[in-house]
Amino acid sequence: MTSAVPSAVATALEDVDPELRAALLACWTDVSNAGGAVGFVPPVTADDVAPALDALLTRVAQGRERVVVLRVDGELAGWAVLSLSVSPLRRHWATVLRVQVHPARQGQGLGRALMTGVHDAARDLGLEMLHLTVRGGYGLEGFYAGLGYREFGRMPGAIRVAPGDDREEVHLFVRL
């Protein structure tokens, strides 16, 4: 898959080698420390993030999740996760998690390229719909609206970024 950045290529993976694990960990840590809404509140170290990454990679090895990586000139620029449903009633859709582009590369069309790769991978899996949530107050709904996502609800106070600082969680979906 190519994008506005001609050398950007998105690939869905069913397994992750140690070199890619290190790149995913560095990216997740850097994105979190730049204030990205991907499961942590800064500051974090790679040691803080590693248990969450390794749990994710276990689910990938079990076939429950796929990692979609975006590379530019062969270097990891961003990644996201497709989390497949275990329920037989929900196998026609999946949840997208951990959408991130490295801070040094944001604002160049790579987030759009990454999500296009996620959508292609989802279609290849026969999925019809995707769901994701975003933290309220980060302005991320605009990014997803540009990709066709529509809001269908908000859970007040779902995310406690700090004591006394609860944020709502916005639920979005797109038909593929």
Ligand X SMILES: CC(C)(COP(=O)(O)OP(=O)(O)OC[C@H]1O[C@@H](n2cnc3c(N)ncnc32)[C@H](O)[C@@H]1OP(=O)(O)O)[C@@H](O)C(=O)NCCC(=O)NCCS
- Positions touching ligand X (CB under 6 A) are 31, 36-38, 99-101, 106-112, 134, 139-140, 142-143, 146
Minimal distance, residue 132 CB to ligand X, in Å: 6
- The 8-class DSSP code of residue 19 comes to H
Closer to ligand X by CB, 37 or 174: give it. 37
CA-wise closest residue to 54 among 84, 21, 78? 21
User: Residue 127 or 172: which CB sits closer to ligand X?
Assistant: 172
Q: Min. distance of Cβ 112 from ligand X in angstroms?
A: 4
Cβ at position 89, least distance to ligand X in Å: 25
Q: Name the residue with the smallest CB distance to ligand X.
A: 111
| Spatial distance between the Cα atoms of 65 and 56, rounded to a whole number of angstroms | 8
C-alpha to C-alpha distance for 52 and 73, rounded to whole angstroms = 27
Q: At what angle do helices 46-61 and 18-33 cross, to 10 degrees?
A: 130
